[in-house]
């Protein structure tokens, strides 16, 4: 699935609720999901991973990030292309 297709799927299913909630409250939901991902990654690091939960949390974080982009009117595919693909991508290291 392309990024644009995923963003459209999230928009079609959730935009009415997400836009009514607004960016600040949606960011709080996103933050909660990042926390759940952190917990799942901690279990992985400690040697007691729950692979199904880890994958679910990655998917949730991506979905909520996409939700935030929708609420803010950001085309993720275009933003990723501009940042990471255009003109050879970013310079330097992360």
pLDDT tier for residue 88 given thresholds of 50, 70 and 90? confident
Query: Structure pTM?
Result: 0.91
Tens digits of per-residue pLDDT, 33-68?
A: 999 999 999 999 999 999 999 999 999 999 999 999
Q: Which structure tokens are listed for 15?
A: 């935009």
| Mean pLDDT, the chain, integer | 96
Residue extents of the structural domains in the chain: 3-12+22-86
Q: How many residues does the chain have?
A: 94
User: ∠67-93-76 over CA atoms, to 5°?
Assistant: 20
pLDDT at 87: 87
pLDDT at 40: 98
3-12+22-86 maps to which CATH number? 1.10.287.1080
């Amino acid at each position: 699935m392309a990024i644009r297709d995923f963003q459209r799927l999230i928009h079609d299913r959730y935009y009415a609720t997400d836009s009514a909630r607004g960016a600040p409250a949606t960011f709080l939901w996103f933050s909660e999901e990042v926390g759940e991902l952190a917990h799942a990654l901690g279990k992985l690091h400690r040697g007691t991973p729950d692979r199904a939960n880890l994958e679910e949390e990655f998917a949730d974080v991506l979905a909520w990030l996409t939700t935030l982009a929708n609420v803010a009117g950001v085309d993720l595919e275009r933003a990723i292309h501009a940042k990471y693909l255009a003109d050879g991508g970013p310079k330097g290291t992360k």
